[in-house]
């Protein structure tokens, strides 16, 4: 093998590696664009609460809360926005560790 042939073989390998890398990048982008959309919609946090609204918002006056208020953060409560303990089942099924938001008045 002469010096000229060695450069030709090296150039062919570089070209083949470049084509393979480009094909791999295009395949990955196609995978992300096509297949990952389904997973994103299945991973929604809010399964069914006020789905007709663009954003779920609840506001309360501090005076109306009383001494303690417990709010749902798992989006599974049948009494949303108040917690009914649904996070316990959710955590067992998913391995998650979500719990409620507890707001209480400072003791004087």
Cα 98 to Cα 74: distance, rounded to the nearest angstrom:
6
Active site amino acids: 55
In order of 42, 59, 60, the CA distances from 64 in angstroms are 36, 11, 7
Identify whether the C-beta of residue 78 lies closer than 8 Å to the C-beta of residue 70: no
Identify whether the C-beta of residue 59 lies closer than 8 Å to the C-beta of residue 51: no
């Amino acid at each position: 093998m002469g010096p000229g042939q060695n450069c030709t073989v090296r150039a062919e390998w570089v070209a083949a590696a470049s084509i393979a890398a480009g094909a791999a990048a295009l395949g990955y982008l196609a995978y992300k664009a096509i297949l990952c959309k389904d997973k994103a919609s299945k991973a929604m946090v809010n399964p069914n609460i006020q789905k007709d609204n663009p954003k779920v918002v609840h506001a309360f006056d501090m005076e109306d809360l009383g001494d303690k208020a417990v709010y749902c953060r798992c989006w599974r409560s049948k009494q949303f926005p108040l917690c009914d303990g649904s996070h316990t089942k959710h955590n067992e099924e998913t391995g998650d560790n979500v719990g409620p938001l507890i707001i209480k008045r400072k003791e004087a």
